[in-house]
Structure formats: C-alpha cells, structure tokens
A and B are shown apart, each in its own frame.
Chain A
C-alpha cells in the first residue's frame, strides 16, 4: 500500500500510476524469454505430445537424436563448417581490417562498404545467387562451397569487431618495434596481435556462430551427406514436428551459450 503511494520519480509520479508500465514491461520480457526457456524442459518429456510441465520425464528424444544417422551427420557437418569458417574467415578478415586501417587509402571508405555488403543484402538473394554460381562450379553440396559462402557472411562481422579494436590501438607501437629491428610481420605478431587478441577470439567465435546458425544459404547449397543441422531442422519443421527437435534445440542453445560465456570469461581475464 505505502509503496504504491510513494513517488517513483522526482517528478512525483507514484508507483501506483506506473503499475501499467511495470506490468507491460514484465509481460514483454516474459514473451521474449519464454520460447528459449520452454524448449529445454520439453526435450526431457516422455510424451509424444506437448504437455507442460511434462508429467513424466525421459531421455528418449536424446536417444532418438543420438541414434539417428541423419541428425548425427548433420551435426558433424554444422560443427565442421563452423570450425572451418572460423579458421578461414578470422585471419582473412583480420588481415583486411588491418590493411584497411593502416593503408589509409583514398577509397578505403568505399572498400569497407564493399566488404560489409553481405550484411545488408537479403540472404535469400545471396542464397539463390550462390546456388546458381555453385552449379556452374560444381560446388553444390560440398563442404568447400559451404565454408566459402559462410565465410563471406562472417567476414564483415569479424572485420567490424577487429576493426573497432584496431581503432583504439596505437599503431606507433609497431613503428617502435620496427625501428628496433623487428620485421613488419614480427612487429604485428609480437606487438599488435597480443593487444587485439581478445577481439580476434571474439570474432572467431562469432564467425563460428554465423556459420552454425545460418539457415537460408545452407538450405540452397548444402545437401546430401553435407546437409547442415539447420537445413535438417528447417525441413523437419515444415514436414512434421517431432520432439527430437526439442533435444536438438536444447543442444544448440547449450553450445551457443557455452561459447558466449567462454568468450566473456576470456575477456574478463585478459
């Protein structure tokens, strides 16, 4: 009672007058988190149909996931594609961000815009375009093609992360190292890289997630034995919904959260 009449702001609005605001905000937050939080208990339900909370618990959906060759293959493909994308896109994008930062070309602004285009072009367009080109190059359904396309999507992300770290880095330190006799590469490796290390790692994690999470391009250019997890899930969602997807979803949430937490942890201990 008394709390309701107390002013919430210095302009003497009471908490009572703001109850609608608190209620709306809490409801919207519930709306935001409910899908993620619901999937986890659902995956442990024994029932074929959804009940909440589940009346009986079981691991049968995890069993069906681990015993299914197509889900296992798809998981392996997605993990591989993510790793290769991180390994390939991170150095390529770091080099590009460094080059753009140091060179101060007349047209570096234009170049940057060009390198960031994958972020603004609708993915469906990239998907069908890449599919068309890959048909000519015989890269459809190949791991190489998938990694190349995912790297293209990941390069802008890594470039933005590494680029913003380079902006706060004092390049004169590299000059000092070079004047003391270090080669260009050695100066970068021993002076610059250790100081932007955290951003490079973050970029690599984001590159992995970009690939691991990507749906539309994978829908068009991955397939057969190289079908990704997202492609399998998308098709399963369109045809028939089976609680195995809840188990897959829980594992995906777990992997993503784990990676992000690790990145945060590395950043804090820097």
Chain B
C-alpha cells in the first residue's frame, strides 16, 4: 500500500526539519571536534607510539616499571584523599549550621561560600602565597600570639598545596551538602526525639543517612576534580608536590616527551571517566535506597 501524497510530503518536511536542526548543532560540534576530540584522540595515538615511531605500549610499560611514576600517582592520590577528607571535616559543620539558619540569613551567609567561586583561582593562589610565606601574616600572628617561635615553612610544600586545594574545593562540597540538609524534614528528628533517641542517635540514625546522598555527590566531585589539579600544586607546592597534571606539563615543557605525557594523560582521563561513571551509578543506587526507605 502506498502512502498518501500528504503523508509523503509530511515525511519529507519532517526530514528537512531534522536536517535543519542538525545543521544548527553542527558549528558547536565542529568547534568541539577540532579543539577537543581531535587533540585528545591524537594524544591517545601518540601514547601508543614508541620513540622509534611504531606501535608499542612502551610508554605504559615504563609507567608501570619506573618507580618515579608510581610516586607521582601516589602523591596525586594522597593529596586528593587528604584534601577531600579535610573538606568533609570543614564543610559538614558549616553546611549543617547554614541549613539550621532562617533562609534569608543563610542566603546572606552563602555569599561567603560563593565568593571564592567567583574569585579568580590565581588571585586566591597569590593571596595564600602571601599569607603563608615565612614573613607572612600567619607566621607573624602565630609568633606574636606565642603559638610557635620560629617561622614555619607553610608554603612551597605539601602544607601550602593542601591549604590552597582545600580552599578551592570547599564550595563544591558545601553546596550539595547544604541543599541535601535543607531538604531534610525536621519532623523526622522531632519524631525520633519523641521516641526517646538522644542527640547522637538522632544524628547518626536519622540526619546522617538523609544527608548522605549530598555528602557522596560532593565527596566524589571534590575527589575527581582534585586528581586533575595543576595550578595550585605548581605554585603553592614549589616543585615539591608533583601530581599527575604537573608531571604531564613537565614532560612537555622540559623534556618534550610527548609519548610519556600522552600516556599519563590517557591514564588520568580514563581514571576520571571511570570515577564519574562509578559516581553516577552510585548516585542512582543511593537515591533508590533513600526513596525506598522513605516510602
């Protein structure tokens, strides 16, 4: 049975419509293809090319065998884990405090959380450099107050890197935690109190599980972002804290070793993707669990 002429015309017009819409998307695809997909694809290719120019996995093999690479990855994970941990410790009380405030006051206090986000990263890094240096404010105050006698080495090392990274990452944890805690119906806590649960039990059995999805999301975002950090360790670490991104930059700038840099980049990218994928799965499982426990 042949379609009616009208139906044919409709089909044709629908096809044109789709084509038109695709052509609207094309420029964006072109830009992203040229400056993102091709370059990153090229790095994948370079990473699988030996110095002699034929296919091999020698860059990956070297990464596995040379202990210096192992140290870079160990530093990266160590710094990311400590940063994430400190962020959790600092942001949980702050988010809790903000979620208990009246909404208008909380919005005002939120400016403190958002201010770092709209201050350029370099501006903040500079400020920490000045605050933490040997004759900086922190050392001056610490000595004046008699907390320590000699100026402490607070910057150009791991401490400086951690301070800078925690400062950058805190808002990313406070925001999801705050919105999760805000959404908790305080009637649950009142009910628990009514049934005789003390403060600790109320927190642990009622509040904490209900805020957990926000905590998990925030923690994963912070950890994933930490893995790719370059600027803060480069400036505040003073060459002593080499994370994967810093090592990639060094391989290019100092040694022109594209193979090694690409292989490291590929591993970093795959690791990031794996974690994001895992985080999405986890978030889905988490929200399913919460939904079931509430229904």
Chain A CB within 8 A of B220 CB = no
For A49, what are the chain B residues with a Cβ–Cβ distance below 8 Å? Answer: 135
CA of A33 to CA of B110, assembled, Å:
11
Specify the chain B residue showing the minimal Cβ separation from A156. Answer: B32
Produce 1/0 per residue, A1-44, CB < 8 A to B. 00000001111110000000110110011011111101100100
Complex interface residues of chain A between 69 and 116 (CB less than 8 A to chain B): 89, 92-93, 95-96, 98-100, 102-103, 105, 111, 114-115
Q: Which of A10, A36, A132 contacts B39 (CB 8 A)?
A: A132
Produce 1/0 per residue, B127-145, CB < 8 A to A. 1111101011100000000
Complex interface residues of chain B between 31 and 81 (CB less than 8 A to chain A): 31-32, 34-40, 42-43, 46
On whether the beta carbons of A230 and B120 are closer than 8 Å, the reply is yes
For A152, what are the chain B residues with a Cβ–Cβ distance below 8 Å? Answer: 31-32, 34-36
On whether the beta carbons of A252 and B123 are closer than 8 Å, the reply is yes
Question: Could you list 8 examples of A-B contacts with CB < 8 Å?
Answer: A29-B109, A35-B131, A50-B137, A99-B21, A117-B36, A120-B273, A130-B35, A252-B123
On whether the beta carbons of B126 and A10 are closer than 8 Å, the reply is no
Q: List the 4 closest A-B pairs by CB distance, nearest first.
A: A129-B39, A99-B24, A122-B228, A35-B127
Known pairs A28-B170, A29-B112, A151-B31 / 9 extra A-B pairs, C-beta < 8 Å: A29-B113, A96-B24, A115-B29, A120-B272, A125-B248, A126-B35, A213-B121, A233-B126, A257-B118
Chain B CB within 8 A of A46 CB = no
CA of A215 to CA of B90, assembled, Å:
27
On whether the beta carbons of A33 and B112 are closer than 8 Å, the reply is yes
Distance to closest chain B CB from A35 (angstroms): 3
Specify the chain A residue showing the minimal Cβ separation from B224. Answer: A120
On whether the beta carbons of A149 and B35 are closer than 8 Å, the reply is yes
CA of A37 to CA of B35, assembled, Å:
36
Given A50-B136, A96-B24, A128-B265; A241-B130 close (CB under 8 Å): yes
On whether the beta carbons of B28 and A95 are closer than 8 Å, the reply is yes
Chain A CB within 8 A of B212 CB = no
Interface residues of B (CB under 8 A from A): 17-18, 20-25, 27-29, 31-32, 34-40, 42-43, 46, 90-91, 93-94, 96-98, 100, 109, 112-113, 115-116, 118-131, 133, 135-137, 167, 170-171, 186, 189-190, 193, 199, 202, 227-228, 230-231, 234-235, 245, 248-249, 252, 258, 261-262, 265, 268-269, 272-273, 276
Specify the chain B residue showing the minimal Cβ separation from A105. Answer: B18
CA of A26 to CA of B256, assembled, Å:
47
For A35, what are the chain B residues with a Cβ–Cβ distance below 8 Å? Answer: 116, 119, 123-124, 127-128, 131, 167
For B125, what are the chain A residues with a Cβ–Cβ distance below 8 Å? Answer: 237
Complex interface residues of chain A between 150 and 197 (CB less than 8 A to chain B): 151-152, 155, 159, 184
On whether the beta carbons of A92 and B28 are closer than 8 Å, the reply is yes
Produce 1/0 per residue, A40-63, CB < 8 A to B. 001000000110100000000000
Produce 1/0 per residue, A127-158, CB < 8 A to B. 11111110000000000000011011001000
On whether the beta carbons of A215 and B123 are closer than 8 Å, the reply is no
* SS class, residues of chain A in contact with chain B: helix
Which one of A29, A98, A148, A159 has the highest number of Cβ atoms from chain B below 10 Å of its Cβ?
A29
Distance to closest chain A CB from B101 (angstroms): 9
Q: Which of A12, A237, A246 contacts B235 (CB 8 A)?
A: A237
Distance to closest chain A CB from B40 (angstroms): 5
Specify the chain B residue showing the minimal Cβ separation from A96. Answer: B28
On whether the beta carbons of B261 and A36 are closer than 8 Å, the reply is no
Given A9-B100, A111-B25, A117-B36; A230-B122 close (CB under 8 Å): yes
Specify the chain A residue showing the minimal Cβ separation from B269. Answer: A125
Q: Which of A10, A24, A238, A257 contacts B94 (CB 8 A)?
A: A24
CA of A9 to CA of B189, assembled, Å:
10
On whether the beta carbons of A238 and B235 are closer than 8 Å, the reply is yes
CA of A133 to CA of B37, assembled, Å:
11
Given A28-B94, A148-B31; A125-B24 close (CB under 8 Å): no
CA of A34 to CA of B133, assembled, Å:
16
Chain B CB within 8 A of A260 CB = yes
For B131, what are the chain A residues with a Cβ–Cβ distance below 8 Å? Answer: 34-35, 38
CA of A38 to CA of B127, assembled, Å:
7
CA of A11 to CA of B131, assembled, Å:
42
Specify the chain A residue showing the minimal Cβ separation from B39. Answer: A129
On whether the beta carbons of B190 and A11 are closer than 8 Å, the reply is yes
CA of A127 to CA of B262, assembled, Å:
11
Given A133-B38, A152-B35; A25-B27 close (CB under 8 Å): no
CA of A198 to CA of B134, assembled, Å:
48
On whether the beta carbons of B94 and A25 are closer than 8 Å, the reply is yes
On whether the beta carbons of A124 and B36 are closer than 8 Å, the reply is no
On whether the beta carbons of B122 and A124 are closer than 8 Å, the reply is no
Specify the chain A residue showing the minimal Cβ separation from B194. Answer: A11
On whether the beta carbons of B118 and A260 are closer than 8 Å, the reply is yes
